Structure 1
């Protein structure tokens, strides 16, 4: 009888009452191209809150919660280095043309990104413990036990609630999935052919160069036998991409 209209199967309505807000500190440092290299570093410390979901059908306003898109820390660093060998560079300016063709003019690039994981939620769970006991120290987390499954969750399927006035939060800022990270590298060289104003650009990109695994979110269903475990990964394995472009 807690359903507002028990004689209807479902009712869908839309109202312009949702909202969100975002605050951030953004830092950018850059060493512009000189002496054959350039480096850029960016860091963002932020918080994204939203009120776009209801805890209960009878609530007058959406529930204010940490957003599923919130990533409090994000680092992005990139750099380009012109290998100092070849025409117009520090070494090998007088290399024979055939040697210059293969060894001179190379450029190496790198991009590093890392960000916090997504906040986790446990649905309309029955919880009779201290929320502070759910997260585990980083040294104790593993794919088999990402958080404390014995912190106070009722895991008996027969005792789960169907229609109740929910008070358990949607998501928790302090309980998150694994950090996401990647290293991408590139190698570029321009080959000049018949005329000085015509060149062929060779580029080799390798994405996730270190072939690191980014774990997907753990299972957050208390009644599941896989509760608290991670069974998959996000993102792609190491991937190479080779290209040739004619510039004129």
Structure 2
């Protein structure tokens, strides 16, 4: 099964930065824009988005003898595009190329698996056991159903972002990149302004870092999922080379069970007792860090916990909560809940 989308909602900016004027006394930069400095950058909404979805779906259902029914479903899929195409849509990180946004969509689930089973206890009249049992015993032990559902899916995509100013400054004495101009005690300006992000785009703040080759972006401990040392600040004048939604979060696994029993009361009425056990093993399913968009701090500079472009991030430079698992998938009954148990009694007539 598959689908494709064209002319989807995708955002960008216009009135881009094309240059700047430098104040000779302070070294500060006054940016120059396409349509003049009267307006700041302008958020634009386009129909430049595309996506497609491909899947292989397998379903197997079987009813066995002695009251056992099994069902299995598996979906192997991939959703890819340059936008999610809904609501306010996303803003392209590269203001000049929508093609550079092509990557996993935020709802891309590579594998989804479901196994369900229902077993009717074979006790009572006409069943394998208890056919000749006394009525009270049949009423007590017969008519029970036990069911279970195992749900599992691959982790959802994670988009690692970085905070970057539109303009930075190069120290002419040593080549270091800093975020503010440096003026000496004699009034001499030691820095030169540089366009950091081509075209700007600070109002939308969608920037991605560079990938550090050979470094695993995942950490295997219980609290920290993403390795900050796998990323670096891009060189001034370039976009980050990390793809959109390039990482994936943790897999989700949950086992639910039900126990049910009907007690006939006459020919047309009955009571039904039902026990439902959600996430019976109390398996913790963590949500992606920072809602799926963990952001690296702007750490340009030469001081403590500051880095130069190309240097791998440290935990301190990235920010204390970067890549940290802080919440579970859901707090409600359903996929991702902690263990919850509920009982119900229903009268049908």
Query: TM-score by structure 1 length?
Result: 0.83
Aligned-partner Cα distance in 2 for 1:36–1:133: 53
* C-alpha distance in structure 2 between counterparts of 1:213 and 1:180, whole Å: 9
**Structure 2 residue matching 1:17: 3-state secondary structure:** strand
Q: What secondary structure is seen at the aligned counterpart in 2 of 1:43?
A: strand
CA offsets 1:182-213 (integer angstroms, 9 cap, x no match): 111001111101x2222222211111111111
One of 51, 65, 68 as aligned partner of 1:20: 51
For residue 12 of structure 1, report the CA deviation from its aligned partner.
Answer: 4.0
- Write the distance in 1 (CA, Å) between the matches of 2:285 and 2:327: 9
Contact persistence 1:125–1:222 (CA under 8 A): no
- The gaps in structure 2 that reach 5 residues or longer are 1-16, 19-32, 84-89, 162-206, 298-318, 331-336
| Alignment partner, residue 197 of structure 1 | 268
Structure-2 residue corresponding to 1:214: 285
Q: Tell me the alpha carbon deviations over residues 144-176 of structure 1, each in whole angstroms, 9 at most, x when there is no partner.
A: 33233212424xxxx998x9655542211xx31
The match for 1:71 among 109, 124, 139 is: 109
Q: Separation in 2 of the partners of 1:160 and 1:234?
A: 36
Q: Residue 24 of structure 1: CA displacement? A: 1.0
Distance 2:34 2:94 in 1: 10
| Equivalent in the alignment of 1:135 | 217
Closer/same/farther in 2, CA of residues 160 and 205 from structure 1, 3 Å limit: farther
- CA apart distance, 1:141: 0.9
**CA–CA separation in structure 1 for the residues paired with 2:347 and 2:235:** 64
- CA 1:70–1:43 in structure 2 vs 1: closer, same or farther (change >3 Å)? same
Alpha-carbon RMSD across the aligned residues, in angstroms, is 2.7
Match of 2:258 among 166, 181, 186: 186
1:86 corresponds in structure 2 to 124
Aligned 8 A contact 1:108 1:187 in 2: yes
User: Which of 139, 143, 158 in structure 2 is aligned with 1:105?
Assistant: 143
2:308 match: none
Evaluate the alpha carbon distance shift between residue 79 and residue 126 of structure 1 in structure 2; reply closer, same or farther with a 3 A threshold. closer
CA gap of 1:90–1:12, structure 2 versus 1, over 3 A, is same
CA distance in 2, matches of 1:179, 1:4: 46
Q: What is the deviation of 1:247?
A: 3.0
Bigger Cα displacement from structure 2, 98-107 vs 10-19: 10-19
Cα 1:233–1:71 shift into 2, 3 Å: same
TM-fit CA distance, 1:60: 5.7
Q: Deviations over 1:72-123 (max 9, x none)?
A: 1111000000111223321112222222222211000000000000122111
Unaligned runs of 5+ in 1: none
Is 2:227 the counterpart of 1:153?
A: no
2:158 maps to which of 111, 116, 120: 120
